């Protein structure tokens, strides 16, 4: 059974710092990995989707990498801003079976001015 | 991408009552999913709703408690029946668009059961 772990669980940083959020998974037979952002009490917003054949994806100040062999993905946030404050979740979709993704518990990020 | 709306956005309900949550998508989708997110927890899949067939429920969730309808390719409802305080959660509708591997979520319904 796939297990997804996100470290750290919480992070508080001053504005302007570059950040790395980690997502690890136990089964490397994945179809894709997706990073989401969730504001308090709200739904999830898709940030980046990485297919199993890809190494990284970029969108603006965000860069996500994938290393299947080591079971890891990182989300890099450059020049963090207070508006980046949210919970960031990763979800891993398996190959075959039900194709139902497994979610991590998220990293709660606070960027203070 | 897909734009998803949910109604209601939040509700406070009494124990023993039922609430139906609606999910509307701006495009036709094959797969629709209903998730629950309890306070401080990650997402738990309740069921997968496919048009024209019965929903497929995950372990720990049953149709009598969470009946689902999927009358067409853009709409679904989830009912939380005979509610108890343990049902207090955010309920999220999600879709996977045809031809895309990306998953999209609605804004969620925040349910509090007293």
* For the ranges A93-97, B24-28, B53-57, B99-103, the one whose mean pLDDT is highest: B24-28
**Residue B104 near chain A (CB below 8 Å):** yes
The tens digit of pLDDT for each residue in B84-97 reads: 999 999 999 999 87
HSE, side-chain direction, 13 A CA sphere, residue A107: 27
Q: For the residues A38-55, what does the mean pLDDT come to?
A: 92
The tens digit of pLDDT for each residue in B59-86 reads: 999 999 999 999 999 999 999 999 999 9
How far apart, in whole angstroms, are the C-alpha atoms of residue A36 and residue B78? 23
Based on C-alpha coordinates, what's the Rg of chain B?
Answer: 13
Residues in chain A: 113
Cβ(B31)–Cβ(B50) below 8 Å: yes
Task: For residue A42, give the nearest of B43, B103, B108 by CB distance.
Answer: B108
DSSP per position, chain A:
---EEEE-SEEEEETT--EEEEEEES---EEEEEEEEE-TTS-EEEEEEEETT-SEEEETTEEEEEETTTTEEEEEE-S--GGG-EEEEEEEEESSTT---EE---EEEEEE-
The residue in chain B having the minimum alpha-carbon distance to the alpha carbon of residue A49 is B102
A42–B107: do the CB atoms touch at under 8 Å? yes
A43, two tokens: 């739904």
Q: Which residues of A touch B4 (CB under 8 A)?
A: 43
Residue among B26, B34, B4, B39 at smallest CA distance from A45: B4
Other Cβ atoms within 10 Å of B92 Cβ, number: 28
- The answer to whether residue A25 scores a pLDDT higher than 70 is yes
**Mean pLDDT computed over every residue of chain A:** 94
The tens digit of pLDDT for each residue in A83-100 reads: 999 999 999 998 876 678
**Residue B102 near chain A (CB below 8 Å):** yes
The per-residue pLDDT for A97 is 67
Q: How confident is the model at residue B30 (pLDDT cuts 50, 70, 90)?
A: confident
């Amino acid at each position: 059974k796939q297990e997804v772990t996100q470290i750290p669980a919480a992070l508080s940083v001053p504005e302007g710092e570059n950040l790395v959020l980690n997502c690890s998974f136990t089964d490397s037979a994945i179809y894709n990995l997706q990073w989401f952002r969730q504001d308090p009490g709200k739904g999830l917003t898709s940030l980046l989707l990485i297919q199993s054949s890809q190494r990284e994806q970029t969108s603006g100040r965000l860069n996500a990498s994938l290393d299947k062999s080591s079971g890891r993905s990182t989300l890099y946030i450059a020049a963090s801003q207070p508006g980046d404050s949210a919970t960031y979740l990763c979800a891993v979709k398996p190959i075959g079976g039900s194709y139902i993704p497994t979610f991590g518990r998220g990293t709660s990020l606070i960027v203070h001015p | 991408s897909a734009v998803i709306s949910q109604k209601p956005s939040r509700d406070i309900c009494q124990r023993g009552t039922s609430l139906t949550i609606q999910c509307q998508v701006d495009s036709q989708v094959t797969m629709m999913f209903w998730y629950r997110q309890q306070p401080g927890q990650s997402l738990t899949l309740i069921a997968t709703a496919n048009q024209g067939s019965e929903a497929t429920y995950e372990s720990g969730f049953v149709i009598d408690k969470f009946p689902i309808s999927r009358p067409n390719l853009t709409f679904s409802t989830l009912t939380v029946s005979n509610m108890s305080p343990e049902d207090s959660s955010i309920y999220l509708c999600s879709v996977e668009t045809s031809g895309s591997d990306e998953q999209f979520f609605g804004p969620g319904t925040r349910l509090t059961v007293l």
